[in-house]
Structure 1
Amino acid sequence: MPPFPLPPSLEDLQQKLTTALRPWDRSVQFWVRAADIYSSYKVCQLRTTFVKDREKQEAMWERQHEHAAEKLYSLCTDLGGLFLKFAQIVGKPDLAPAAWVRRLVTLCDKAPSTPFPVVCRILEEELGQNFSDLFERFDVEPVGSASIAQVHRARLRSAKIDVAVQHPGVQHLMMVDIRNLQAFVLLLQKTDIKFDLFSLTKEAEKQIGYEFDFLREAEAMEKIRLFLHANNKKVPVLVPRAIHSMVTRKVLIMDFISGIPILNLGNEIARRGIDPDGNVAAMAKQKILKNLTLAYGQMILKSGFFHADPHPGNILICKDSEASRVA
């Protein structure tokens, strides 16, 4: 006679309850915060109608953008997930007020990280081996945590590698987030926006779904890496090589490339004793921009297959003497 199953522990029940309630909690937080930001803009809109001076109106709107940027930053950092993706898209000068761009551009790798024991469990389940048998060394703290995954440094067969591990449950939460965002956009279209923003969110829903398949991402990385190696040798743009025998839908292991996040380039230039606003720094930045532009020109015009997510968190500047190599 088989033994009776043990009753679930208090910790298990708490974890299951937290998981079940998390989508509801996120939805409530989103709507409360979105309503707060929206209403503040409507109040500002009303106040400016009583001000005739154009410069004063612009100053009022600038203060409102600064105020809203802080609230939007808090929403994105607290909820993470899709809203970090939203920050990457909206945080561009051609899409959002300058105050938003200044605040949101720093959100590239600020997502909450998954606890290390959970990371170990995911790696064991995905790769089918005990964690202790997988790596020679594995850094407990991630070097970065983004909306879908976090990255750890490790060593495999004496070689440095980066290990990307998908956050558990993130796909379901992102789908909850995008449904809330779509409902909010429909509301805006009825009250304020005079163009079809909802269709953009539907396309975003489709494209974001692809990002949860790291097997697909590894294939795309390899295709671009081989193309640039063969066709763009004069421009030093590097793409990490995926270790395909250790890639699953939720785990992506690739070669380690040492580099400086592009947003930290100014600090690195200053650390070397160079004026970040001087001519030498300007020439280095211009060379980086040229390399990226040439690489994208090759990908788009010659290959037709290109990296479509070039936000600052996806670009590293390699640490050579000219600070011009891009990964």
Structure 2
Amino acid sequence: MRAVLLDVVDYKTTFAREEKMGAPGRDLTPEERKIKRKARKECHLRSAQRLLEALKKNSGIYVKLGQHVAAVQVLPSEWTQTMRPLQDQCLPTPLDDIDDMLHQDFGLGLDDLFSNFDPQPIGVASLAQVHRAIDKRTGRSVAVKVQHADLQDFARVDMATVNVAINLVKYIFPEFEFGWLGEEMNQMLPLEMDFRHEAENSARCRREFSHLTGKTSLYLPEVLWAERRCLVMEFIEGARVDNLRYLKDHHIDRNQVSQELSRIFSQMVYINGHFHADPHHGNLLVRARAPNSTSPFNFDVCLLDHGQYFDIPDDLRVNYARFWLSLIKSSSVKTTAERKKYAKLVGNIDDEMYPILESAITGRINMSDPSSDNDGVVGRPSSLLDQRHMSDNDLSKLRNAMLEREGLIVSIFELLRTVPKRLLMILKLSDLQRSLDQSLATTHGQSRIYVIIARYCAEAVWQADKLDFRRSLRTDGFSLRLFSSYISSFLSYVYWETSFGMAERAMDLRARWVKMTMWVHGLTRGGLSAAGDEMAGLVL
């Protein structure tokens, strides 16, 4: 709480100084604007660092809160970059405490359950840690996820403290909306703290992908058993999906990995309507294709940590898919009207807020009215598929330019307050897909993942149109108007499928050509070894 109060005072002081800048009735000079931007960035950084230390000190759900802040990419980079270490830095619970906790829960300890239990955790998160062990009953190598022993004791008090802090910030700065963070944690934390819920999510996800056997690389570790604070699952030998050295050593195409990640998450969001709500690099492993795998590729993508899932209402799911397809189209007066229509439907977004929503969805920096001739976007043409491949640094610079624009930070927080929480989680997922594509140093261009997303959007719209047709046929009977609408929908779907299929093939040919030129370049610099490293993205 002390850190929050100090941050509030710091921001109040900084904003008060801004109010005194310049003479009344005139705009700030370029030099004054520069001073203002510098002071605000320094305030962001000081406040984020102050809160980071407090979150690390208190651990538990406080770390979880910081992880959420790190994932909200429309926030100032001083905040997201400062909070990012929380995704990897958590203190482990001592082994004796774990053993006591298991005895409390079901009267059995580590020696009763496991013939071998590695005392060194292979991963430590804000709520739990994972150890490698041998299951005593089956003799299988397993990953044991155990909750931090003191989490239950302090969770209620910690959540109350977090809610008070968020409400305090909201009271002093009504325009800075962080209430959705508190709401999300209040809803999801109790579920995450019961690993039986995680096991149920994993089983449901498995069922929803069962019809894609032989068509997807997704693999979910088998859950052996689950209790409230302990979950035992199959141990997966693999590496983070962005481990380029591992991919090279196992002859795995990083472009295919990126594409499969986009297909997996697009299937969840646009078709299943039930998606993993806590995706990050640590929850995704890649491994060489296992003997029992049905993957069509030479690798499996293993999705871990199923504690958080969200269901998407069908109207939001389909309208968001229609919105994505409108972003694919070249800009025109008609297309702009269509985009704004669906932005209103999915997020209650008015014309003033529309550029902020588009930037959050696509990663493009829209700085003006989207209906203008040049579409008002820094460094990009008028349609989503025309976006150039930007590096993390380029994207960060453009995002910071957007954030530093007068009054735009307030608009971003207004966006967070306006759009449905489910949409915020979808935006978070889209940002992860862009981030993974960049960290994999793909050669197919960033538009490749957009084509995949759009292809699933087209499928979602077509499925919804077919369902509407059947309903209308049952209730109203056959009519020429209904038949014409059905044919129009079918032709639109065929158009999208054909267009996206051709675009994917062209982008994949380009990717192979780029890799070949990288190999040749590496060969001229250092022989076969250097050629292989450069083609694998290990030399940039």
Q: TM-score, normalised by structure 1?
A: 0.76
Say whether 1:269 aligns with 2:235: no
- C-alpha separation between the residues in 2 aligned to 1:76 and 1:114? 17
- Measure how far apart 1:37 and its partner are: 2.0
Cα gap change, 1:104/1:324 in structure 2, threshold over 3 Å: closer, same or farther?
A: farther
Q: Deviations over 1:254-282 (max 9, x none)?
A: 111123345xx3xx4368889xxxxx99x
- Amino acid of the residue matched to residue 118 of structure 2? D
- 8 Å CA contact retained: 1:232, 1:295: no
- Measure how far apart 1:177 and its partner are: 2.0
Cα gap change, 1:291/1:105 in structure 2, threshold over 3 Å: closer, same or farther?
A: farther
More helix by share: 2
Cα gap change, 1:106/1:323 in structure 2, threshold over 3 Å: closer, same or farther?
A: farther
- C-alpha separation between the residues in 2 aligned to 1:165 and 1:326? 20
- Give aligned-pair identity as a percent: 26
Match of 2:55 in 1: 76
- 8 Å CA contact retained: 2:8, 2:169: no
- Amino acid of the residue matched to residue 223 of structure 1? R
- C-alpha separation between the residues in 2 aligned to 1:126 and 1:32? 35
Match of 1:202 in 2: 183
Q: Whose radius of gyration is greater, 1 or 2?
A: 2
The 5 A counterparts of 1:1-327 are 31-51=1-21, 52=28, 53-156=32-135, 157-194=138-175, 197-198=178-179, 201-231=182-212, 233-244=214-225, 247-261=226-240, 265=242, 268-269=243-244, 284=254, 286-318=255-287, 325-327=301-303
Stretches of structure 1 lacking an aligned partner (at least 5 in a row)? 1-30, 275-279
Q: Deviations over 1:153-197 (max 9, x none)?
A: 112244221101111231342222221222222222222123764
- C-alpha separation between the residues in 1 aligned to 2:41 and 2:134? 48
Cα gap change, 1:322/1:226 in structure 2, threshold over 3 Å: closer, same or farther?
A: same
- Amino acid of the residue matched to residue 76 of structure 2? P
State the SS of the aligned residue for 2:275: coil
- Measure how far apart 1:326 and its partner are: 4.3
State the SS of the aligned residue for 1:141: coil
- C-alpha separation between the residues in 1 aligned to 2:79 and 2:44? 7
- C-alpha separation between the residues in 2 aligned to 1:324 and 1:255? 14
Which segments of structure 1 move beyond 4 Å, counting only runs of 4 or more?
A: 270-274, 319-324
- C-alpha separation between the residues in 1 aligned to 2:109 and 2:178? 47
Stretches of structure 2 lacking an aligned partner (at least 5 in a row)? 22-27, 290-296, 304-540
- C-alpha separation between the residues in 2 aligned to 1:143 and 1:250? 18
Cα gap change, 1:101/1:318 in structure 2, threshold over 3 Å: closer, same or farther?
A: farther
- 8 Å CA contact retained: 1:292, 1:326: no
Q: TM-score, normalised by structure 2?
A: 0.48
Q: How many residues align?
A: 284
Cα gap change, 1:322/1:269 in structure 2, threshold over 3 Å: closer, same or farther?
A: farther
- Amino acid of the residue matched to residue 287 of structure 2? C
Cα gap change, 1:258/1:193 in structure 2, threshold over 3 Å: closer, same or farther?
A: farther
- Amino acid of the residue matched to residue 34 of structure 1? V
